[in-house]
Structure 1
Amino acid sequence: MEFDPRWLLFVLPIVFVLGWLASKLDSRQWKLEQRESPKAYFKGLNLLLNEQQDKAIDAFIEAVQNDPDTSELHFALGSLFRRRGETERAVRVHEHLIRRGDITKADRDRAQHELAQDFFKAGLFDRAEAAYAELRGTAFEREARLALLSLYERSRDWAKAADIAAELEAAGTGSFSGRIAHYLCEQALVAQAQGHADLAPALLEQAQRRAPEAARAYVLQGQVLLKAGQPELALAAFTRLLAVNPPAFNLVAADCAAAATQLGRPERAIALLIEQYQRAPSMHLLRALATLQPEPQRERLAAHLREHPALSAATDLLKLNASALPADEAAPMVKALETATKPLLRYRCAACGFEAAHYFWQCPGCLNWDTYPPRHVEEL
C-alpha cells in the first residue's frame, strides 16, 4: 500500500494541537508550583514573625517539599529547630546540606557553622569543638574562634582558652590581655588544688606581665604568699596592688591587716589602709583598720556615718555602744540592723545585675569578666 501524502494534512494539525496543549499544561503546572512555593515560604515567615514557631516549621517543611533544592529553606528550618531545642533535627538538616554536592563552598561553610552551633546548643562540646575546628580558613573563622573561647571557658580548659584568645588578639579581633591574665590565674588555682603550688608563682607573674593593671594576679599572689607564711612578700604584693589598681584594694584589706599583724608591724598596713580610705572611703577599709587599731574605731564610724550614711556602719557603731544600753534593748536592735544590712553586703554585676555574697571575677549570671565592682551594694 502506497503512502498517501494527503494524510499529512490531517496528522500535522493534530500533532501541533496536542503539543500546544501539553506545553500549556506544563506551563500551568510550573506556574502553580512557583505560586505555591513562595506562598508556603511567606506563610512560614509570617508565622515566625508572630512567634508561632510550631506552625512556621510546618510551613517551611511544606516549602522544602515543594522545592527541595533550595538551601535557604533548609537553613531557615535548621535554625528554627535549634531555637526550639530540637537539636537532633537541626543536626540532620545541616548534615544533609553538607553532604549535598550541588551547593557552593560558601553555603557548605555556612552549614558547617550552623552544625557546630547545633552541637554547642546540645551540650556536645567535643563534637562542637571538632566542628568549629573545620572552619579554619573560612569566612566563619573569627566566629568559630570566639565560640571556641566560650566553649573552653565553660569546660574550664584554661590553657586552650588562653591559646585561642592569643590567636584572636593576633588576628586583630581586639585586646584579650585581661582575659588571658584571668586564664593564667585560673591555671594557678588549679595547680594549687592539684598539689603543685610551686607552679602558681610563675603563672601569677606571667599574668601580671600580660595585664599589668589587672588586679586579680596581685590579689592571688598576696593571698598565696600569706597562706605560705611569707607576710613580708604578701604585704609587698598588696602594696603593688594599691599602686596599680586602688579600687581592688578593698578585696584584700583584711588580708593586708593580717599580714601586718603576722609581721608585728601594724603601722605599715595602717598607713596603706588610711591612704586608701582618704581616697575612696569604704567599710572594708574601716573594718580592717579596726583589727589593727580598735581604740579610735568609734570615732571613725561616727565620722563615716556623717559623710556616708550606711546601715553597716550604723550596725558596727551600735555594737560598740551596746554596753551603754540595756541588754534587752541592744540585742534586738543589733539583730534587726544586721537583718536589714545583710542584703546590702553583696556584690552586684554591673552587666546583668546578678548579686552574690562573694566576689566573682567572672559573673556566674552573664559569664562576663571583671563586671563586679569591688564594693558592696550599699556603697555603690
Structure 2
Amino acid sequence: MELDLIWILIGLPLAFGLGWLASRLDLRQLRIDNRQAPRAYFKGLNFLLNEQQDKAIDAFIEAVQNDPDTSELHFALGNLFRRRGEYERAVRVHEHLLSRGDLSTADRQRAQNALAKDYVKAGLLDRAEDALKKLEGTSFEGQARLARLAIYERSREWPQAREVAEQLELSGEVSFSVRKAHYLCEQARELNAQGDAAGAAKLLETAMTEAPDAPRPRLLLGQLQLNMGLAVQACETLGQLFDKGSVAAPLASSSLVRAALSAQRVPQTLQLLQTHYAQSPCIDVMDAIVALEKANHASDEQARQRYIEHLQKQPSLLAASRWLAGADLGNETTRAPVQKALEQASRPLARYRCAACGFEAKEHFWHCPGCQAWDSYPPRRVEEL
C-alpha cells in the first residue's frame, strides 16, 4: 500500500512535467510554423509589388506547402498563374480548392468564379460556359451572365445571347434593347444568306418594334426590300432614317439612291437628301445628291459645283478628288497623275474607325472585329471625324 502511494506521488509530478514539456514543444513548433508561413507570404507580396512574378510564385508555393489549408494563398497563387498565362496550373489550383470539403460557401463561389475566368482566358469556352452557369443564384451571378453574354457573342450564338440579355434586364441591369436588336439583325443576315428573305424581314420588323430608335434594323430592312424588288417600300423604310435625322442616315445614302431610281421617286428623294444635307453636311449624302441630280439630267458641271459647295462648308480631300475627276484642266497628262495622287492620299480618309480601339476598315461595322464593342463605329468617314 505504501509502495503504491509512493509511485502515485512520483508519477503525478512526472506526468505533469511531461505534459508541460509536450505543450512547450507544440507551442514552439506552432510559433515556427506561424513565422515561416507569413514570412513566405509577405515575401511573395514583396516580389509581386516589385513585378517579379516568377519569384512571387515560388514564394507563394512555399507558403502553400507550409500551410496547405490556407485558401487565400491558393487564390493568390491561382490569380498569379492566370496573369502569367499559365492557365492549366491556375485551373489545377482552383479545382483543388473546389475539391476541399471544409471550404466555406463564399470561398467555394469565389473559387468557381476564378475557375470560370481561367477557362475564359484559356479559350475553353464550353467549359467556361458550364462553370459560369454554376454561379447562378450567387453573388457572382451578374458578372457570370455578362461573361456568358460575351462568350455567346464571340461564338455568334445569338438566340442564347438574347436570352442572357433578357435575364440581365430583369435583374435590374441597364437596358439591352439595342443590343437585342443587333442580335436579331445578325440572325436576319444569316437567314437571308440561307435564302430565307421572308424570315429575315420578320426578324428585322421585330427588332424595329423592340428598339424603334435603333437605325440598323431599318437600314437592313430597307436593303432587304430593295433586293427583293420592293423598291417603293425600300424608299419609305430608308427614307425614315433621313426624316428622323438619324446619325446613321449617311450609311443608307447609296441604297436610297438605288431604291429611288427603281421606284422612280427621284424628285421626292432628292428633296429629302437635300434637307438632311443642309442640317448635317456629309460626303456620302452629297454623293447621293449628285447621283440623283445626274439621273435628273443635271450636267457634269452642275455636279462638280456641288463638290465645290461642300468644300466651302468643310475641307475634304474626298470632295476635292471627286471635283477633279470631272475637271477640264486642258491637259490630260497633267490632270491624270494629280488625280491619282489625290485619290491615293484620300483613300485612308474614306475608311471608318472604331472609337473604342481605333481599328479602321473600308466598311462600317456595327460590331467591332477588333475589340468586340457594339456601335463603336461612327457612321462617318475618318476624314469627317
Q: Give the TM-score range, shorter chain.
A: over 0.9
Distance 1:171 1:245, change over 3 A: farther
Distance 1:304 1:71, change over 3 A: same
For 2:167 and 2:286, locate their aligned partners in 1 and report how far apart those are by CA, in whole Å.
44
Shift of residue 319, structure 1, vs aligned partner: 1.3
Equivalent residue number for residue 50 of structure 1:
50
Q: How does 1:1-380 map to 2 (within 5 A)?
A: 3=3, 16-244=16-244, 246-294=246-294, 295=299, 296-321=302-327, 323-380=328-385
For 1:9 and 1:183, locate their aligned partners in 2 and report how far apart those are by CA, in whole Å.
88
For 2:245 and 2:61, locate their aligned partners in 1 and report how far apart those are by CA, in whole Å.
57
For 1:226 and 1:188, locate their aligned partners in 2 and report how far apart those are by CA, in whole Å.
15
Further displaced range: 88-97 or 175-184: 88-97
For 1:243 and 1:104, locate their aligned partners in 2 and report how far apart those are by CA, in whole Å.
60
Q: Deviations over 1:244-299 (max 9, x none)?
A: 45221100111111111112231122112111110110110111122111332222
Further displaced range: 287-296 or 212-221: 287-296
Q: Deviations over 1:342-372 (max 9, x none)?
A: 1111111122222211100011222111111
Amino acid at match of 2:362: A
Confirm or deny: 8 A CA contact 1:214 1:245 kept in the other structure. no
Confirm or deny: 8 A CA contact 2:222 2:237 kept in the other structure. yes
For 2:59 and 2:178, locate their aligned partners in 1 and report how far apart those are by CA, in whole Å.
47
Q: Deviations over 1:153-197 (max 9, x none)?
A: 000000110111011001111100010000000010111112222
Shift of residue 36, structure 1, vs aligned partner: 1.1
Amino acid at match of 2:384: E
Confirm or deny: 8 A CA contact 2:158 2:183 kept in the other structure. yes
Confirm or deny: 8 A CA contact 1:115 1:131 kept in the other structure. yes
Distance 1:245 1:157, change over 3 A: farther
Confirm or deny: 8 A CA contact 2:245 2:276 kept in the other structure. no
Confirm or deny: 8 A CA contact 2:290 2:306 kept in the other structure. no
Amino acid at match of 2:51: E
Confirm or deny: 8 A CA contact 1:44 1:55 kept in the other structure. yes
Distance 1:4 1:202, change over 3 A: closer
For 1:245 and 1:161, locate their aligned partners in 2 and report how far apart those are by CA, in whole Å.
30
For 2:350 and 2:330, locate their aligned partners in 1 and report how far apart those are by CA, in whole Å.
26
Q: Deviations over 1:111-159 (max 9, x none)?
A: 1111111111121111111111111111111111111100100000001
Further displaced range: 219-228 or 363-372: 363-372
* Structure 1: stretches of 5+ with no match in the other structure: none
Q: How many residues get paired?
A: 379
Tell me the SS of whatever aligns to 1:352: coil
Confirm or deny: 8 A CA contact 1:212 1:244 kept in the other structure. no
Amino acid at match of 1:341: S
Shift of residue 26, structure 1, vs aligned partner: 2.1
For 1:30 and 1:22, locate their aligned partners in 2 and report how far apart those are by CA, in whole Å.
12
Indicate the RMSD between aligned Cα atoms, in angstroms: 1.8
Distance 1:253 1:217, change over 3 A: same
Further displaced range: 16-25 or 176-185: 16-25
For 1:4 and 1:133, locate their aligned partners in 2 and report how far apart those are by CA, in whole Å.
71
Amino acid at match of 2:361: A
For 2:243 and 2:100, locate their aligned partners in 1 and report how far apart those are by CA, in whole Å.
61
Distance 1:4 1:142, change over 3 A: closer
For 1:187 and 1:78, locate their aligned partners in 2 and report how far apart those are by CA, in whole Å.
39
% identity of equivalent residues: 54
For 2:58 and 2:182, locate their aligned partners in 1 and report how far apart those are by CA, in whole Å.
47
Confirm or deny: 8 A CA contact 1:213 1:245 kept in the other structure. no
Shift of residue 4, structure 1, vs aligned partner: 7.1
Amino acid at match of 1:366: C
